[in-house]
Amino acid sequence: MCTKAGLSGNFTNHSGKRTCATTMFQSGIDEQTIMSRTGHRSVQGVRKYKRPSDDQLRDISNVLEPNCKSSKIKTENNSSDGKENEKCHIVELQSQSATSNMQIQQIQDIQLQPGNANFDIKGCTINGDKVLFTDKGNCRIIIHDSTGVHVEDIPLSAEPFGITAIDNNMVAVTFGRKQYFEIININTKEVTKRTTEGNSWGITYENGNLYMIVDGHMHGINVAIMTSSGELFKMIPVSTDFDQTEYVAVDGDSIFFTVFIPKDLVCMDVNGAVQWQFEKNIFNQPRGVTTDTLGNIFVAGFSSHNVIAVQKSGSEGSEILNKNEGLNYPTSIYCDKTNNRLLVSNLNNGHAYLFNIVYD
C-alpha cells in the first residue's frame, strides 16, 4: 500500500516509537515492556505517548472546566413559529473579501435509539433525508430521519469510528484500531472491505475522493486519499508535531485536522505543508471537524462543550453553539453542503442536533 502511494517509508524513528507505544498502551501492555520494545530509556519518556480515551478526557475536563469566550456573536429568540426554545445565532465571519453574516438555526433535537450498551458516538453524517451515527459502544450505525424518527440500526464487524456519506446509498466507515475500513450500501447492506496500513480514524468525502486519517505503526500519521471505491492513490505524511490527530475535513486543496492535545486546528496542503494553526482559547480538546460551502471550518470542542466556526484563512474564529443548545462533550460534526445543514452529536448522552445554516 505504501509503495503504491509513493510513500518512502523513510520517516523518523520517533514516528514509529510514538505509534507503537500508543498502540501498546491501548492494548494494556505494561510500561516496562513498552519501554524495552521501543528503546526508550525511561518510563517517563514512554508515558507521554499514552492516548487518553474520550471518557478520560471528559473526567479530566469535569475538574478543569475551561473558561471559553466567544466573539462576534449575537443570540436571538426566534419565536415567530411559536417554538419558544428555538434559537438563531447570528455569526460574523470575515471572508477573504467581505464580512458575511451566518445564522445557525436549530431545527431538531434527535434522541438516538438506545442500544444494549452505553452510547459512544464517534462519527456522524447526513445521507439525503437520513442522519447516521457510528456508535462504538454498540458496534452499529444508528439511522434516524431528519425529523428524529429512528429508521434502523446496521450492525458492524467491529467497533466503528468515523463515517461519511459517499452518495445517497453508500457510506464509508472506519474502525479505529482495526486496519481496515468498509464501504456499506445502507439499503442493500452490501459491504466492501478495504485494508489499510495502520489504524483507520476520521474519514470524509470531498471532490469525488475519500480522505482518511491513517495511524501507521511504522510510518506515523498520514492522510490517505482514495477513490470513492476505496482505491488508494496518495498518502500525505502529517508532521510528528501533531501526534494526537483523528478527525479530518477537506475544502478544495486544503486539508484540516484537529489535534486534541494540545488544542489545535491545523490546515495543510495536499503536499503536507502546514499552512496555518488555530490555537485560541475559544475551544478545548477539539474533536470532529467539517467545512461548509464558503470554506468556513466548524470544530466540535469536546471539553469546552461548544462548536466554533473558523474562517478559511485561520485568522479568526467564533463560538456558534454551546451548552445552551444542549452540547455536552460533542465528538462528531458534519456539514451537509447541498442543503446547508449542520449535524452535531454528543459523546454518550444520546442526543444529537440538526441545524440550518443561513447565509446573508
Task: Go through the domains of the chain in sequence order and give each one's CATH number.
Answer: 2-51 (no CATH), 61-359 (2.120.10.30)
Task: Look at residue 81 in the predicted model and tell me its pLDDT.
Answer: 41
List of residues 6+ apart from 309 with CB closer than 8 A? 91, 93, 102, 296, 297, 298, 317, 318, 320
316: helix, coil or strand? coil
Q: Across residues 35-60, what is the average pLDDT?
A: 52
Predicted confidence (pLDDT) at residue 46 exceeds the cutoff of 80: no
CB 150 within 8 A of CB 113: yes
pLDDT at 336 over 70: yes
Asked if 272 and 316 touch (Cβ cutoff 8 Å), the reply is no
Query: For residue 208, is pLDDT > 50?
Result: yes
In the prediction, which pLDDT does 19 show? Answer: 47
Query: Hey, what's the cell of 29?
Result: 501492555
pLDDT at residue 273 greater than cutoff 50: yes
The Cα–Cα gap between 125 and 334 comes to 6
pTM over 0.85: no
**Residues near 17 by beta carbon (within 8 Å), at least 6 away in sequence:** 38, 39, 40, 49
Three-state secondary-structure class, residue 31: helix
**Rounded to 5 degrees, what are φ and ψ at 81?**
-100, 10
Beta-carbon contacts of residue 59 (< 8 Å; ≥ 6 apart): none
3 state DSSP class of 62? helix
Average pLDDT on 310-321 reads: 94
